[in-house]
Amino acid sequence: MKNEIICISCPLGCYLTVNHNQNKLKNVIGNRCSLGLNYAKKEILNPERTLTTTVKVSNGNLPLVSVKTSQPIPKNKIFSAMKLLAKIKIDAPVEIGEKIIQNIFDTNANVIATKNIIKMKK
Amino acid sequence: MIKLSDILFREVALVIIGGGPAGLAAAISAKKNGIRDLIIIERNDWLGGILPQCIHDGFGIEIFDEALTGPEYAQRFIDELNLLEIPYMLNSMALEITLDKNVYVASPEGLFCFKAKAIILAMGCRERTRGQICIPGTRPAGVYTAGVAQNLINLKNMMVGKNIVILGSGDVGMIMARRLTLEGAKVHAVVEILPHTNGLPRNHQQCLIDYEIPLLLSHTVTEIQGRNRVNSVTISPVNKELESIKLNQRKITCDTLLLSVGLIPENELSKTSNVKLNPVTGGAFVDENLETSVSGVFACGNVLHVHDVVDFVTLEAERAGKSASLYIFGKQTKSKRIRVEAGSGIRYILPNFISKKTDIEMSLRVKHPGEQVSIGFFDGKKLLKTKKFRKVHPAQMIKIKLKESETRAIKTLKVRVLQ
Ligand SMILES: Cc1cc2nc3c(=O)[nH]c(=O)nc-3n(C[C@H](O)[C@H](O)[C@H](O)COP(=O)(O)OP(=O)(O)OC[C@H]3O[C@@H](n4cnc5c(N)ncnc54)[C@H](O)[C@@H]3O)c2cc1C
Ligand code: SF4
């Protein structure tokens, strides 16, 4: 089987042609670096993405704090993660890098804050 | 009436207008190059420009070798700025730059006049609106630019709609298509007038293909319907001349239309100082030091030309900060310069003028996507250098280095796509 995919590992966005056979990678054409090779491998076997979204905050200078998964999680877990995060509300202050959920769905990824939120006086 | 006695006059070596990634990097670089007397003017009540609302990742790969989110990328520079004790003014809008480099600033503390030795323009860009692309129809609620929608959703916790059509496949539009889908909205189509996407290929993959969002190329929105709120839009195919045709038109029911139809450098202010602007980029004409047509006024970041990757904004701004400090210390060497021309197939190339005295990195964009494309540099008919690319795309800025030894003896310089 032959798949045309775009490498998302960096903004160069190489167009990759991936030849594979029943989940086994045969070869990759078009990658400018080794990251592209790894990406193609994963994309065929178990595609993963970093999830970036927001979580509600109370008493903060903003009503939301931006968050991300500390490492990519399986693509098929993205929507369940969104559902889980929609239910959460945390208290200000929040510090950039702070853990909000540990090891989400046993993926080994933590959900961490990507922004500082200051606590506002009432 | 404002009296002269109401204006607060200050002398300062360097004024940086805009506190986005460009302004931050320019200030840090100027300080590291010995300028102690400097200030950043920022109209928002935060530093970081557009980055705090860009919560997706993909920033910093070039500089930090990490895929950071927008707010994380901004914070690294804000931390460094604070460490270096560089002063800044928030909620402060630069209103005018006079010919003798006085910068008038309206701030909560009053009206200031900064008498500057040098100025760095780092005002970023703004989004094109419906008015600028002229879509006929009613004027209902529910039409947003993609950046405004991004601000509402990511900073203010306000959802813009449930059934969405996006016009334009720029990066902001594609990123918002994914964001809205994750938040539970249905994105019915991303409609693009050109025969190719207008943003980075990686965003095509991870924002549209990943979520099976339909991309309609060579199509446009020709009418918006709805009385109070958008209730549908008409989509039409376009011909080679990009004119819509009446054949196969269809209506898509939706409550929201997002526009991602381009960014324009925010240069109203630059005009007051007589800086000459390039009609193609909307930004200033600059030389290899990023100095504009007005001596001592420099430009960097999206106000100079719209960048797709913030790392390149930072690197450009660092050079502007260094050039400004050399200028202030009187160490800048003025020499005869030649003009760099964009030939066939090239939308624009920067810098516009070079002195031929140093190695330089040229930034350019092609007009059309292509495969196995060679780009050639010419002095008259003489081919100086070629560079071959497997794929080129107008959304991707191309960087090509020219060595001093390659340019030393040339009389003219023109760049074009080779056939
Ligand atoms: C939605 C979106 C998604 C993006 N995604 C990516 C990505 O995934 N990866 C990536 O690398 N890059 C991305 N970019 C590009 C990157 O964010 C920009 O290139 C970068 O922010 C440009 O920096 P800047 O400092 O030139 O402009 P800006 O960030 O716009 O900052 C300009 C600042 O100047 C201020 N200002 C303007 N006029 C005045 C005035 N008269 N007085 C005082 N202050 C003024 C503004 O308030 C603003 O804070 C994205 C951009 C957008 C819009
Ligand atoms: S293959 Fe390497 S250079 Fe190409 S997009 Fe992927 S990471 Fe970037």
Domain boundary among B212, B229, B261: B261
3-class DSSP state for residue A34?
helix
CA distance A70 to chain B (A): 10
Same domain, B135 and B240: yes
Q: Please report which helix (H) or strand (E) contains residue A42, including its range.
A: helix A34-45
Same domain, B280 and B369: no
Which pLDDT value is given to residue B336? Answer: 85
Ligand 1 pocket: which residues have CB below 6 Å? B 17-23, 41-44, 49-51, 54, 56, 58-59, 93-94, 122-124, 147, 150, 171-172, 175, 266, 269, 301-303, 307, 309-311, 313
The residue whose CB lies within 8 Å of the most ligand 2 atoms, and thus the one to mutate among A17, A29, A35, is: A35
Say yes or no: B123 and B134 in one domain: no
Q: Select from B333, B350, B384 the last residue of a domain.
A: B333
> Does the pLDDT value for residue A22 go beyond 80?
no
Same domain for B179 and B114?
no
pLDDT of residue B1: 63
CB-facing half-sphere around the CA of A84: CA atoms within 13 A: 13
- Which of B225, B243, B261 terminates a domain? The answer is B261
Output the pLDDT for position B334: 75
Task: Assess A76–B contact: CB distance below 8 Å, yes or no.
Answer: no
Domain A52-113 has CATH 3.10.530.10: yes
Q: In what order do the strands lie in the sheet with B186-191?
A: B143-145, B256-259, B163-167, B186-191, B215-216
pLDDT of residue B151: 96
Please tell me whether residues B139 and B221 are part of one structural domain: yes
Report the residue of A53, A96, A114 to disrupt the B interface, i.e. the one with the largest count of B CBs within 10 Å.
Answer: A114
Tally of domains in chain B: 3
pLDDT in tens, A44-91: 888 999 999 999 999 999 999 999 999 999 999 999 999 999 999 999
Q: Where residue B410 sits, what CATH number does that domain have?
A: 2.60.40
A12 has a pLDDT exceeding 90? no
Q: B327: domain range?
A: 1-127+264-333
Nearest CA to CA, how far is A66 from chain B (Å)? Answer: 6
Instruction: Please indicate, yes or no, whether residues B286 and B371 belong to a single structural domain of this protein.
Output: no
- Asked if residue B7 and residue B90 are part of one domain, the reply reads yes
Residue B332, pLDDT score: 84
Q: What is the pLDDT along chain B (419 residues), one digit of tens a residue?
A: 667 778 899 999 999 999 999 999 999 999 999 999 999 999 999 999 999 999 999 899 889 988 899 999 999 999 999 999 999 999 999 999 999 999 999 999 999 999 999 999 999 999 988 766 678 777 889 999 999 999 999 999 999 999 999 999 989 999 999 999 999 999 999 999 999 888 888 999 999 999 999 999 999 999 999 999 999 999 999 998 888 888 889 999 999 999 998 899 999 898 888 999 999 999 999 999 999 999 999 999 999 999 988 999 999 999 999 999 999 999 887 778 999 999 999 999 999 999 998 899 999 999 998 989 999 999 999 999 999 998 888 888 999 999 999 999 999 999 999 97
Nearest atom (ligand 1) to Cα of B105: 42
B288 and B358 share a domain? no
pTM to 2 decimal places: 0.93
Per-residue pLDDT band for A122 (boundaries 50, 70, 90) equals: low
Quick one: pLDDT at residue B271?
A: 85
Examine the domain organization and report whether B274 and B303 are in the same domain: yes
Q: H/E element holding A58? A: strand A52-58
Quote the tokens at residue B295: 């001596």
Same domain membership, residue B343 and residue B303: no
Q: Three-class SS of residue A78?
A: helix
Rounded Cα distance, A56 and B319, in Å: 39
Contact criterion met (CB < 8 Å) for A54 and B204 = no
